[in-house]
Amino acid sequence: MERSFEPPQRILMGPGPSDVSPRVLAAMARPTIGHLDPAFVELMTEVKSLLQYAFRTKNQLTIPISGPGTAGMEACIANLVEPGDSVLVCVNGVFGGRMATMAERMGGVVHRIESPWGEPIDLAQLEDALKKHPKTKAIAFVHAETSTGARSDARGIASLAHRYGTLTIADTVTSLGGIPLEVDEWSLDAVYSGTQKCLSCTPGLSPVTISERALSAIRARTHPVVSWFLDFGLVMSYWGEGQKRTYHHTAPVNAIYALHEALLVLREEGLEKAWARHQLNHEAFRAGLAAMGLELLVHADHRLPQLNAVRIPADVEDAIVRRAMLYDFGIEIGGGLGDLTGKIWRIGLMGFASNPRNVYRCLSALAACMRSSKHVSTADEGLAAAKAVYVAASRA
């Protein structure tokens, strides 16, 4: 007989979703009201301005798309890419590959710029491609590649885009709230994110922000956007200012409560403080891993603090450790994707889950689950090394 679902207790330290703050869960459980209720309309206005804060932008079109990160990706690509448009897509992991496929489905002429997984996008290679394809309409790239743990130089890519007169489509699903992201200062054009990574909200919404330049390109389209649901022109008539709001779809009302609360949590902490917290917890975790004999996949210059790609020692069985982490310790970590399957774990320290307690817990659980490995030292060494990082930071 089916009964109410009681989820097991977990600590979410994978590539997302991350642990959701109890404040956000409480907000989500509040009574549903109508999506055209004046109180809800006011809430929508606040969500837009809180998103402008998180994205560091004044873009008017800054809203959550009703759908997961992938919906924001599809919205940005569907609105900017018309049949026959030339698009450069930077691919250094799973999500860049997904953007390329989508742009092709929209009829774009896609040129892939491939970098090895675990490395950032190569700017010299990108510039060569821009010279070779002077009619490029947009460069699509992933700021924080969650499949590998590599950070790309979003500012550098945007500045190349401006020099060559093209637009940028930026995936910031894992970067928003976790590492510096400056939409206006860097002049990014079509930017989408997700709620379940460093914002520590429930999955299912995709914040997007669109520059004036990108809006002009959308207005100049000669073909209608293939997706009715994701057409920014129509979405704006629903999320736009004032009394003129027209029905487009029913916003996921309670999910918007949750996002509002998650953004309040972020603003109360302060963006810069949130970035610094992610960095510090990453440094402590990294020091702990190193003391235990474990290495990271990505070079120090390009590491994401919120997503640690840890190399699995040769004598350790990936699936056994992940299962023990989950069932014995209640800690979810992620496996590798594609060629990295069985070679790395993806350990997230995202949003609400990025805290010292999780760093210590994860280090000791990992050591326990890998006791049989010749390559892994005891938890004591890892915990002491992590502790030393926190102590040094508190004295600084």
Ligand X SMILES: *Cc1c(COP(=O)(O)O)cnc(C)c1O
Torsion of CA 301, 306, 307, 313, to 10 degrees: 80
Residue 146 binding ligand X, by CB under 6 A: yes
Q: What is the distance between the alpha carbons of residues 392 and 341, in angstroms, rounded to a whole number?
A: 36
Q: What is the distance between the alpha carbons of residues 274 and 261, in angstroms, rounded to a whole number?
A: 16
Q: Looking at beta carbons only, is 194 or 382 nearer to ligand X?
A: 194
Torsion of CA 53, 56, 58, 60, to 10 degrees: -70
Using the contact rule CB under 6 A, the part of the chain among 62-70, 216-224, 232-240, 320-328 near ligand X is 62-70
Contact pattern for ligand X over residues 281 through 320, marking x by CB under 6 A: ----------------------------------------
Q: Pick from 119, 222, 98, 94: which is nearest to 169 by CA?
A: 98
> Which residues on adjacent β-strands are paired with residue 296?
310
The binder of ligand X chosen from 173, 199, 258, 347 (CB under 6 A): 173
Using the contact rule CB under 6 A, the part of the chain among 65-73, 227-235, 358-366, 374-382 near ligand X is 65-73
Element at 88 (helix H, strand E)? strand 86-91
Using the contact rule CB under 6 A, the part of the chain among 52-60, 63-71, 207-215, 289-297 near ligand X is 63-71
Residue 348 binding ligand X, by CB under 6 A: no
Residue 16 binding ligand X, by CB under 6 A: yes
Contact pattern for ligand X over residues 176 through 205, marking x by CB under 6 A: ------------------x--x-----x--
Residue 52 binding ligand X, by CB under 6 A: no
Q: Pick from 294, 389, 300, 384: which is nearest to 333 by CA?
A: 294
Q: How far is the CB of 29 from ligand X (least distance, A)?
A: 22
Rg (CA), the chain: 21
The binder of ligand X chosen from 82, 171, 231, 283 (CB under 6 A): 171
Q: What is the distance between the alpha carbons of residues 101 and 120, in angstroms, rounded to a whole number?
A: 20
The three-class DSSP label of residue 159 is helix
Q: Pick from 103, 77, 149, 110: which is nearest to 302 by CA?
A: 149
Spatial neighbors of 7 by CB under 8 A, at least 6 apart, are none
Q: How far is the CB of 95 from ligand X (least distance, A)?
A: 4
Closest residue to ligand X using C-beta atoms? 69
Residue 337 binding ligand X, by CB under 6 A: no
Using the contact rule CB under 6 A, the part of the chain among 26-34, 113-121, 141-149, 375-383 near ligand X is 141-149
Q: What is the distance between the alpha carbons of residues 206 and 203, in angstroms, rounded to a whole number?
A: 9
Q: Looking at beta carbons only, is 324 or 337 nearer to ligand X?
A: 337
Q: What is the distance between the alpha carbons of residues 157 and 140, in angstroms, rounded to a whole number?
A: 10
Q: Looking at beta carbons only, is 205 or 365 nearer to ligand X?
A: 205
Residue 68 binding ligand X, by CB under 6 A: yes
The binder of ligand X chosen from 81, 142, 289, 310 (CB under 6 A): 142
Residue 25 structure tokens = 């869960």
Q: Looking at beta carbons only, is 73 or 376 nearer to ligand X?
A: 73
Using the contact rule CB under 6 A, the part of the chain among 119-127, 169-177, 258-266, 340-348 near ligand X is 169-177
Cβ atoms of residues 205 and 195 within 8 Å: yes
Q: Looking at beta carbons only, is 108 or 194 nearer to ligand X?
A: 194
Residue 140 structure tokens = 């699509």
Q: How far is the CB of 128 from ligand X (least distance, A)?
A: 25
Residue 141 binding ligand X, by CB under 6 A: no
Residue 69 binding ligand X, by CB under 6 A: yes
Spatial neighbors of 105 by CB under 8 A, at least 6 apart, are none
Residue 150 binding ligand X, by CB under 6 A: no
Residue 95 binding ligand X, by CB under 6 A: yes
- By rule CB under 6 A, what count of residues binds ligand X? 14
Using the contact rule CB under 6 A, the part of the chain among 168-176, 282-290, 318-326, 387-395 near ligand X is 168-176
- Ramachandran region, residue 199 (left: φ > 0; alpha: ψ -120 to 50; beta: rest): alpha
Residue 151 structure tokens = 């950070």
Q: What is the distance between the alpha carbons of residues 240 and 198, in angstroms, rounded to a whole number?
A: 26
Question: Which residues in this chain contact ligand X in the complex, by CB under 6 A?
Answer: 16, 68-70, 95, 142, 144, 146, 171, 173-174, 194, 197, 203
